[in-house]
Amino acid sequence: MFISLLGLSACDSEPPELMKASNKFESDEIRDKHVAYMRTNHMDALKHKRDETMYDGIRTEEHSLNACINCHVPESHNGEVLRHTDQEHFCTTCHTYVAAKLDCFECHVDHPTKLDYELKSAKTSISQKKSILKNMADSNIESMQLKSLDKKELMELAFKHVNNQQSTKPPKSGGVSFKALQNSDLESNSSNKPNQTQKTEELTSE
Amino acid sequence: MSSESINNDVSKKIIYCELENNGIGFWSIFTFFAVLILLGIGAFNYMHYHGHYVTGMNNQIVWGMPHVFAIFLIVSASGAANIATIGTVFGKKTYQPLGRLSLLLAGSLLVGGLIVLLLDLGKISNVIEMAKGSINFKSIFAWNMILYSGFIAIIVVYLWTMMDRIKSAKSLYRPLGIANMVWRFLLTMGTGSIFGFLVARQYYDAAILAPLFISASYVFGTAVYSLLIISTFTLTKRDLGNAVIKRLRRSLPLFITAVLFFEFVRHLTNLYATEHHGVESYILSGDMFSLLFWFGQIIIGSILPMILLWGPWFKNHTLALVSASILAIIGGFIQLYIIIIGGQSYPLILFPNAEISSLFADGVFNDYSATLSEYLLGFGGIGISFCIVMIGMKIFRMLPTILDELS
Amino acid sequence: MNNFDSYRRNFLSIVGITAGAAASVTLAPNLLLREAQAKPDDEAVTDAKRWGLLINVDKLEDGGDACIAACKKEHGWGDDPKSNQAQDAQWVRKVKVTEKLTGHSFSLPVMCQHCETAPCVDVCPTGASMKRADGIVQVNKHICIGCRYCMMACPYKARSFVHETLVDQRPNSPRGKGTVESCNLCVHRIDKGENPACVDSSPDAIVFGDLNDPDSTISKELEQNGGSQIRADLGLNTGVRYQGI
């Protein structure tokens, strides 16, 4: 009882400073919307997604825990892996503040981990991403008249394109490099906000 | 006598009263059980903090000593309520005054057993998901959860019908006695079916485990209850009288006979089926488990108590009943140990008529030795059960002051 | 919908870099043929498919060592620091079988057999032990209470219990203390249209595919040459079949 009263009295004070995410939103307005939505709904969104993935095999980036981690937790912090047991960890900072138990990381990994084959193709995919992002702003969707293509086809087109560009043929690594590209492009979009002008500096810093 | 109540069920007046404050005696026994609880809590914390690698359990012996304790407590809970059933349903006057304590003991044993079972789970925090609706009703575990909570609910109402003097309570007394009896059958069958329905394991997968557990529950329950009333009456200097002792002396070996019968049939069936020869010879003519079976379960747990109680040498000896009960409890515990640990110790048969081996203990007899924390967790459950019993006897009028002239 | 639009915009932009719009349209049909297996990320799995494995023990020269290593690498099990050997997780293991009378001997990898009527699913009190619509049996660790009843029920000893706190799990294969785990047929790879890791490690000996589709490689091979189940007497209709046992 006493503790909960303490908690109430703390509500007026400012929430703790959280670690910066690695990707940036197009505008502050979009970012603020994302922050506001996630502050109140992240647990429901994650839980909904968790059941969709477990039972239906739906593995989109939206509300995927791995996507959250990849953006919100740095690959290394002061030269070391940042774990959920550290106070600076994005999730831990806030969960400690509100005294809510954090259960995800009993099983899920708490920091970004590149799979081996992703590491191999990481370099090409970054240069790829850069050129793509530069061109992204110029593209004119309507003139292409491809509205009838569904998402799967679009992915395949992009997949093919990346393969051609890299001239490394194995379809698997091509697919993965595309996957990596898709990851970093869409993470910041996962809160329903499109983003076409992602900063290239973010990507080169990898 | 601080307060008194009159039970109208029995033609003669029976005076029930709470345990009087017996000073050192009561509190030192209570402290003993409370310390058991504390040790159990410590063991739970240790196991839960580190994970199950600190126990003797592993991927082969997945259920260990805590489960032996828990299932013993749960099975004996069902049997302990039998005294109340006999009094109510079969109208045996001798047992009626003892019904209240029988139900209190049954409820307490069940709670103790369930807590041990709960505290051994790997991820207790996820139990809340079951409350939110994640229940698979095809699972015998899920049925058992309903059976266990229903049993406690029935006990509470049944106790009320015994203790309240208003009319509605009296009219419900017998129906609840019958409900309790039927529910107990289902409950013990459910517990036996946990093992009975496992197709994978050679030693389980037999529906006869359900009646075996039912008869075992009578043995465990009667033995625990006998010890409880004898010690309580002696320590509080009340007169237990010979009638009850006589009945208990006659019924306990009868129940043991029933257990022996079901064990005999079970092993005989298994011995007839070639596919079970391996596991039968492992249990009946192997090393450790055979020793436990023949000396522990059969000689100490069954033959000796039968001699003590049926033999002409110890007639009307309370001590004979006490020692027979202790032996029956030890034997019952060993019986569950053989079923639970021995059944898992025998390897799975992936390919009949072939020898198999792997780095994952295929084709070998699995070893198990319980660690201290597992024992302490189990004893903690016993502590919980008897702390509840003692508190119950202290604040409610559970026991009659005198039993002798009845029946 | 917003998401969909953003996907579309980004991908179309990528396409726009080199190729013209018309060229892209003509490219599309060829591509569709190549990646027939992948399901769209946002589409739920259905029971139209039933995934299965066919393991040819004769062609598996190492008895399964390579696929066990691939599984360890993919899921990160097998090296839990504090557990002893009997406690360490074992999603797949190499079992050596020697017939008593004839002395005939062979080795095979044994893992979750992905039964159609799985005993582990029946006994689980919470429904954490589950079978997905496409036949994959797995543990939903979010609701697993760690009672280990499924381990008692499994005839193949395919399940392991995590006995200690773990860190640095694989991102696609969460594992944690107090829950039960087993082979999930690399469900995260299947959802992306890839093969399970063990299949890629021994492509000549292990076939992966849809048992419900009579034209799939696995179904044709099974129809022609058959495939046995371990403990077929239990009638579990397993999704993992063997040749040469």
The Cα of C140 is separated from the nearest Cα of chain B by a number of Å equal to: 11
With CB atoms and an 8 Å threshold, state whether B359 touches C156. Answer: no
Question: Which stretch of A4-13, A36-45, C145-154, C217-226 has the lowest confidence by average pLDDT?
Answer: A4-13
Instruction: Tell me if the domain spanning B5-400 has CATH number 1.20.1630.10.
Output: yes
The Cα of A5 is separated from the nearest Cα of chain C by a number of Å equal to: 31
Identify the pLDDT of residue B35: 97
Mean pLDDT computed over every residue of chain C: 86
Stretch C187-195: mean pLDDT: 93
Identify the CATH number of the domain in which residue C221 sits. 3.30.70.20
Whether residue B8 lies within 8 A of chain A, CB to CB, comes out as no
Report residue B97 as tokens. Answer: 């005054």
Helix (H, G, I), strand (E, B) or coil at B349: coil
Of B141, B353, B358, nearest to C93 by CB-CB distance is B358
The Cα of A10 is separated from the nearest Cα of chain C by a number of Å equal to: 31
C44 falls within a domain: no
The Cα of C123 is separated from the nearest Cα of chain B by a number of Å equal to: 4
Identify the pLDDT of residue B12: 53
A198 falls within a domain: yes
Identify the pLDDT of residue A206: 33
Residue at which a domain ends, from A49, A82, A106: A106
Q: Is there a single domain that holds both residue A137 and residue A198?
A: yes
Identify the pLDDT of residue B134: 87
Q: Is there a single domain that holds both residue A121 and residue A192?
A: yes
Q: Is there a single domain that holds both residue C61 and residue C174?
A: yes
With CB atoms and an 8 Å threshold, state whether A194 touches C194. Answer: no
A111 falls within a domain: no
Residue ranges, chain B, pLDDT below 70:
1-13, 21-22, 316, 403-407
C42 falls within a domain: no
A9 falls within a domain: no
Identify the pLDDT of residue C32: 35
Q: Is there a single domain that holds both residue C73 and residue C23?
A: no
For residues C221 and C205, give the distance between their C-alpha atoms in angstroms, rounded to a whole number: 12
Q: Is there a single domain that holds both residue C161 and residue C224?
A: yes
What ipTM did this prediction achieve? 0.89
With CB atoms and an 8 Å threshold, state whether C230 touches B140. Answer: no
The Cα of B330 is separated from the nearest Cα of chain C by a number of Å equal to: 25
Q: Is the pLDDT of residue A130 over 70?
A: no
Stretch C145-156: mean pLDDT: 95
A6 falls within a domain: no
Give per-residue pLDDT as tens, C202-229. 999 999 999 999 999 999 999 999 999 9
Identify the pLDDT of residue A160: 45
C40 falls within a domain: no
The Cα of B209 is separated from the nearest Cα of chain C by a number of Å equal to: 16
Of all residues in chain C, the one with the smallest CA distance to B356 is C97
C143 falls within a domain: yes
With CB atoms and an 8 Å threshold, state whether C161 touches B52. Answer: yes
Of B122, B360, B361, nearest to C161 by CB-CB distance is B122
Identify the pLDDT of residue B14: 72
**Would you list the DSSP string of B380-398?**
HHHHHHHHHHHHHHHHS--
Per cent of chain C over pLDDT 70 is 84
Domain residue ranges in chain B: 5-400
CA dihedral C75, C78, C82, C84 (to 10 degrees): 150
User: Which residues constitute the domain of residue C12?
Assistant: 2-34
Helix (H, G, I), strand (E, B) or coil at C96: strand
A132 falls within a domain: yes
Mean pLDDT computed over every residue of chain A: 65
A1 falls within a domain: no
Subunits next to B (3 or more Cβ pairs <8 Å) are: A, C
Count CB atoms within 10 A of the CB of residue B17. Answer: 19
A5 falls within a domain: no
In chain A, residues 59-118 whose CB comes closer than 8 Å to chain C: 59-60, 62, 66, 69, 81, 83, 106-110, 112-113, 115-116
Q: Is there a single domain that holds both residue A89 and residue A126?
A: no
Domain tally, chain C: 2
Identify the pLDDT of residue B132: 85
Provide the residue type at A124 as one letter. T
Whether residue A153 lies within 8 A of chain C, CB to CB, comes out as yes
Whether residue C228 lies within 8 A of chain B, CB to CB, comes out as no
Of C73, C166, C191, nearest to A59 by CB-CB distance is C191
Of C122, C143, C179, nearest to B122 by CB-CB distance is C179
Of all residues in chain B, the one with the smallest CA distance to A107 is B123
Q: Is there a single domain that holds both residue C11 and residue C65?
A: no
Identify the pLDDT of residue B18: 76
Q: Is there a single domain that holds both residue A22 and residue A96?
A: yes
Identify the pLDDT of residue B22: 66
Residue at which a domain ends, from A66, A84, A106: A106
Identify the pLDDT of residue B184: 94
With CB atoms and an 8 Å threshold, state whether C3 touches A192. Answer: yes
Whether residue A103 lies within 8 A of chain B, CB to CB, comes out as yes
C46 falls within a domain: no
The Cα of A32 is separated from the nearest Cα of chain B by a number of Å equal to: 33
Report residue A127 as tokens. Answer: 């240069």
Per cent of chain A over pLDDT 90 is 31
Give per-residue pLDDT as tens, C63-114. 899 999 999 999 999 989 999 999 999 999 999 999 999 999 999 999 999 9
Of C80, C100, C161, nearest to B353 by CB-CB distance is C100
With CB atoms and an 8 Å threshold, state whether B350 touches C86. Answer: no
Chains B, C: CB contacts under 8 A, how many? 179
Q: Is there a single domain that holds both residue C213 and residue C124?
A: yes
Count CB atoms within 10 A of the CB of residue A36. Answer: 11
Whether residue C42 lies within 8 A of chain A, CB to CB, comes out as yes
Stretch C169-197: mean pLDDT: 94
User: Which residues constitute the domain of residue A83?
Assistant: 15-106
Q: Is the pLDDT of residue A195 over 70?
A: no
With CB atoms and an 8 Å threshold, state whether C41 touches A59. Answer: yes
For residues A179 and A192, give the distance between their C-alpha atoms in angstroms, rounded to a whole number: 19
Report residue B236 as tokens. Answer: 């509080």
Tell the residue number behind the tokens 């009659």, with chain if given: B400
Q: Is there a single domain that holds both residue A36 and residue A96?
A: yes
Domain tally, chain A: 2
Q: Which residues of A touch B133 (CB under 8 A)?
A: none
Helix (H, G, I), strand (E, B) or coil at B345: helix
Report residue A130 as tokens. Answer: 């850069």
Q: Is there a single domain that holds both residue C16 and residue C109?
A: no
What is the b/e burial string over C81-108, where b = at least 16 CB atoms within 10 angstroms of the residue's CB?
A: eebeebbbbbbbbbbbbbeeeeeeebbb
A4 falls within a domain: no
Q: Is the pLDDT of residue A180 over 60?
A: no
Q: Is there a single domain that holds both residue C155 and residue C63?
A: yes
C175 contacts C75 by C-beta, under 8 angstroms: yes
Of B53, B126, B197, nearest to C145 by CB-CB distance is B126
For residues A131 and B71, give the distance between their C-alpha atoms in angstroms, rounded to a whole number: 67
Stretch A107-113: mean pLDDT: 92
C17 falls within a domain: yes
Q: Is there a single domain that holds both residue C89 and residue C15?
A: no
Of C90, C127, C155, nearest to B360 by CB-CB distance is C90
